[in-house]
Copies of this chain bind each other. A is one copy, B any other.
Amino acid sequence: MSILIKNVILDGQKRDILIKGNKIGKIGKNLNLKADEKIDGKGEKAVLPGLINCHCHSAMALFRGYADDLPLKEWLEEKIWPLEQKLTKEDVYWGTKLACLEMIKTGTTFFNDMYWLEEASVVEEMGLRAKIGLTLLDFLPMGDKENIEKNWSIFKKKKLKTVSFSIAPHSIYTVSKENLIWAKNFAKKNNLILHIHLSETEKEVKDCLKKYKMRPVEFLDKIGFLNENCILAHSIWLSEKEIKILAKRKSSVVYCPCSNMKLASGTFPYLKFKKAKVNVCLGTDGAASNNNLDLFEEMKFASLLQKIKELNSTAASSKEIFEIATKNGAKALRVNCGEVKVGKLADLILIDLNQVCLKPGYNLISDLVYSCSGNCVSDVICNGKILMRERKVKGEEKILKEATKRAKRLTRL
């Protein structure tokens, strides 16, 4: 399978791109090559790497708008958890489909998920790339070690094209020390990424200080949890010492500005991480606390929140923020994508330049980060397969309909 993309703007120049199999095979001028499929950008589309969402709970797209403007405790305990307990596999199936459709339509080609393992097959069907978490959670039967070992023995044998796995202990306050140690050993043995929530709220830090007599990162470091395969979502309430530890261990942190603002969790210390050279990635979190999965919007929030936090308009430039949404995510997830270069995986998006948000067009990256939403994306290719063409995705009407039905049933129960 091959795709020839003609006349697209890459770094300001008109180029042709040949995709062979699932990789970028050639980039050049006027490539006259045969290919199974052709897309012509006519000099009016730009090509960029697909965006990478490093922290998501995809099936929660089914909860979008169900509960807002509430205190965190009430939101979680009285709204989200009761609804989650009613979720069937069918609900998760259509919720994940809805999330995948949203990500495709807003230019995300790769996401790092923590929810139900069953999402894996949906993601494959939809053609996106994902790391799906084997979620470890002390208070849920499906989240126990035995279940994870059983699931892993099943899933590791499946021949999956775009889906791989992580081990995802939910957090230090929902997973015991013993189970966290088990998780890091399981990750090492099976060469898996570790994905965990960390220091999202100040309360979590205070509780940790009480329970373990040290701060969360210090605790995780002490049990040998931290290394370059570790992805820490949120990472808001960190001391200078904790940031230094993360830098030393080469772990990655995920900035989720919309969720952090909407839930009033706190402000991610971006400039401190940058100074310490910690790898910063970008995430939307679930749609229940965002309320969308549009990384274009997330990039604008990511930059503007830092500027106002620091009262410094030069903080978190559009160029930096575009990198955390692409290259840095690929690095954290250890996948060969996030850039438009020969040899990289063919996870690409095309942007139709004939749109108001991109005019007059002095600076493409600025326009994408500060002016456009994900609606600027016209075409999406993931793993060498076209997932969206001229904003049309196969089967989208059915997904919208079924997701609405499932949500109605859930809230009627």
Choose from B258, B261, B318, B404 the contact partner of A361 (Cβ within 8 Å).
Answer: B404
- The count of identical subunits is 2
Residue of B at shortest CB range from A102?
B356
**A58-66, A160-168, A172-180: which lies at the interface:** A58-66
Assembled-state Cα–Cα distance A75/B317 (Å):
14
Question: Residues of B contacting A371 with CB < 8 Å?
Answer: 64-65, 287, 290-292
Contact call B291/A68, Cβ cutoff below 8 A:
no
With A291-B367, A314-B70 given, is the CB distance from A105 to B260 under 8 Å?
no
> A226-268 CB contact bits vs B (8 Å, 1 = yes)?
0000000000000000000000000000000010111110110
Question: Residues of B contacting A66 with CB < 8 Å?
Answer: 362-363
A140 interface residue per 8 A CB criterion:
no
- Interface SS of chain A: helix, strand, loop or mixed? helix
Contact call B267/A69, Cβ cutoff below 8 A:
no
Question: Residues of B contacting A312 with CB < 8 Å?
Answer: 264
With A101-B356, A356-B400 given, is the CB distance from A71 to B314 under 8 Å?
yes
The residue among A71, A373, A397 with the most chain B CB atoms within 10 A of its own CB is: A373
> A267-296 CB contact bits vs B (8 Å, 1 = yes)?
100000000000000000001001110100
The residue among A68, A70, A307 with the most chain B CB atoms within 10 A of its own CB is: A68
Query: Which residues of A332-364 are within 8 A (CB) of B?
Result: 354-357, 359-363
Contact call B308/A264, Cβ cutoff below 8 A:
yes
Contact call A360/B314, Cβ cutoff below 8 A:
no
A310 interface residue per 8 A CB criterion:
yes
Interface size class of A (residues with CB under 8 A): 35 or more
With A261-B305, A264-B312, A373-B373 given, is the CB distance from A359 to B317 under 8 Å?
no
Contact call B102/A292, Cβ cutoff below 8 A:
no
A2 interface residue per 8 A CB criterion:
no
Taking the closest CB of chain B, its distance from the CB of A318, in whole angstroms, is 6
Contact call B360/A407, Cβ cutoff below 8 A:
yes
> A297-310 CB contact bits vs B (8 Å, 1 = yes)?
10011011101101
Contact call A314/B69, Cβ cutoff below 8 A:
yes
Residue of B at shortest CB range from A406?
B360
With A356-B98, A359-B404, A411-B362 given, is the CB distance from A370 to B308 under 8 Å?
no
A403 interface residue per 8 A CB criterion:
yes
Contact call A308/B267, Cβ cutoff below 8 A:
yes
Residue of B at shortest CB range from A308?
B261
- 14 new A-B pairs (CB below 8 Å) besides A65-B361, A361-B404, A361-B407? A64-B367, A68-B363, A68-B370, A71-B314, A258-B304, A261-B305, A262-B370, A264-B312, A264-B313, A290-B370, A291-B371, A362-B407, A362-B411, A373-B374
In the complex, 17 of the A-B residue pairs with CB atoms within 8 angstroms, ordered by the A residue number, are A64-B362, A65-B367, A68-B318, A68-B370, A69-B314, A69-B318, A105-B356, A258-B304, A260-B308, A262-B307, A264-B312, A290-B371, A291-B371, A292-B371, A292-B372, A297-B297, A359-B400
